[in-house]
Structure 1
């Protein structure tokens, strides 16, 4: 069972416990009975999504589309709303309801304002239910849409990783079969020519530069791992982000060494030895952090929407 299933299952158990705690339904409160039935139906859908068994091909398709994950979360949210609405009052639940809605809705959202101004007993129970249900649905909808945004970003990262992998593989194969086509040797009028694998060009030069560039990128990926916060989102991005960094680092190392060999940095950078050339490959691989830092920031914003964090004091 994956992490998202564990979280959904624990919350589903809580829904069923809350439903049982409501006690026998009031025969005069038909609306409450309807909400109880909705809670049971949505709980059954969640069970089906969690325990669904599919063929390998369908499993891959479901993983890519994420429909079973998002259906489970949406049905769970509807079940939680139904359990709250099935009660005969909201006095004891108001603090928790307000906190949950505040995680996703802005302070000036009319549905949040109506919930925060609600005073139990001020309106008939049916109107109180409408206010609570409307606010909860708006809050959960925003969370569900954030899940969909996370999945879209994950799929884009996977597609980008595949493209980078193909490009790096082609560069390595070309360098291996035709060493002169992608020259990895660097020289100048004042400095001797040095190559990654020695004094002469070799078929493994491009592969070696890519490996060292990937190593430099791994260093930045470790930094990403250390600063990453725990996530309860059903989509975890850090592995895909690290893959992008490593593959991009390998590609940038090749491009950077080509630039050094072309004399773009003449007068600024001098490569006098094989060790210096290999070190520059590592540095160039790490330099992908400049480009992927924007990706990291964007991913953080998307994930923060999918797993709302408490606002810090003084923030709006």
Structure 2
């Protein structure tokens, strides 16, 4: 975008805003992990010599790191960096880390055991065989070290341990993909509902007499006429029973639905704002709370209209005839706020998905120097 808008004053600021609007902080975290892992790959091991097998593993790790950097490079993508880019880069980063750790000796890998055990506990279920093995192995090694007889990892334990860590990383990726899928579904539903709100507003303005949002309360004792026609933006008092249909069409305004939906949208916005107190912060790249808040707005507009239509049809006993436009507006506020009854289930699911995403695993610490060398 910069090469097309570079001549516009302030375009650089716009490009910076566009970049930081995405997952910029998490992309920088991936870059920092890549730089750290590249330094570890460049450090000599095994006394400065490497076997052909280890050299091939390191080459594959470097290629994975290059691919991770390409994924989060904004110059290689036409679209803005999103959570999917961060997840894909983290996948390549985990692949590079796994390949690098397979070149370490069992003694070097053993120094990473606490961090590896934490990653396995974070993403795998307690009954998972990989987690059971890692926890048992960590307990045995800790007890042996406390007893003064430290035991090194065997080759078989090393392979199983690295496999368990890879499984944990795959589980973390599935959690992130689930979160991304949930956000996309919620956003598309919000877009669909917004389009429905706009469509209803346009159709009701063009054909205002098709389904008028008006009530016909009976007049109070002593009043002239049989009925009154009350609409959100107007009223017609003292209407004979035989002229109800005609006077209702005349009193119905083109902005009745628009006013009610706007009031419902505002009430839903207030409900979404009050729900922020229940939202906990997250370090993930998925805007689940924002998507849930956006879903509430068109839902409130639609519940306000549909609720008034149910009241007009006599579905709610005792509330089938409102007496003034002010009462209609007041009920639109209540019905718009009541969308919480429907969206609270989506909120619970969103919080469950958000709790399931633990964020990217921390990079392992540098390899400690061997005092025997």
Secondary structure in 2 aligned to 1:24?
coil
1:226 is aligned, of 277, 285, 289, to: 277
Q: Does 1:25 align with 2:34?
A: no
Alpha-carbon displacement from aligned partner over 1:271-303 (angstroms, at most 9, x marks no partner) = 332222101101111111111111111111222
- State the match for 1:53 in structure 2: 75
**Cα distance in structure 1, aligned partners of 2:62 and 2:217:** 76
8 Å contact 1:209–1:250 — kept in the other structure? yes
- TM-score (normalizing by structure 1): 0.85
| Compared CA separation, residues 28 and 164, structure 1 to 2 (3 A) | closer
Secondary structure in 1 aligned to 2:110?
coil
The 5 A counterparts of 1:287-306 are 287-306=338-357
Q: Alignment length, in residue pairs?
A: 303
| Compared CA separation, residues 19 and 128, structure 1 to 2 (3 A) | farther
Secondary structure in 2 aligned to 1:194?
strand
Alpha-carbon displacement from aligned partner over 1:164-183 (angstroms, at most 9, x marks no partner) = 12221221112111111121
Q: Does 1:42 align with 2:64?
A: yes
Q: Structure 2 unaligned segments of length 5 or more: list them.
A: 1-18, 142-149, 221-227, 236-250, 361-373
- State the match for 1:79 in structure 2: 96
**Cα distance in structure 1, aligned partners of 2:56 and 2:98:** 12
**Cα distance in structure 2, aligned partners of 1:12 and 1:135:** 25
| Compared CA separation, residues 250 and 10, structure 1 to 2 (3 A) | same
- State the match for 1:193 in structure 2: 229
Secondary structure in 2 aligned to 1:275?
helix
- State the match for 2:114 in structure 1: 95
User: 1:24 deviation in Å?
Assistant: 0.8
User: 1:193 deviation in Å?
Assistant: 3.2
**Cα distance in structure 2, aligned partners of 1:184 and 1:130:** 70
Secondary structure in 1 aligned to 2:331?
helix
Alignment RMSD: 2.6
| Compared CA separation, residues 111 and 8, structure 1 to 2 (3 A) | farther
- TM-score (normalizing by structure 2): 0.73
User: 1:107 deviation in Å?
Assistant: 1.8
**Cα distance in structure 1, aligned partners of 2:316 and 2:50:** 84
Larger Rg: 2
The 5 A counterparts of 1:194-273 are 194-199=230-235, 200-268=251-319, 271-273=322-324
Alpha-carbon displacement from aligned partner over 1:93-132 (angstroms, at most 9, x marks no partner) = 11111111101111221111222232374443x3343122
User: 1:71 deviation in Å?
Assistant: 2.0
1:144 is aligned, of 148, 170, 173, to: 173
| Compared CA separation, residues 243 and 112, structure 1 to 2 (3 A) | same
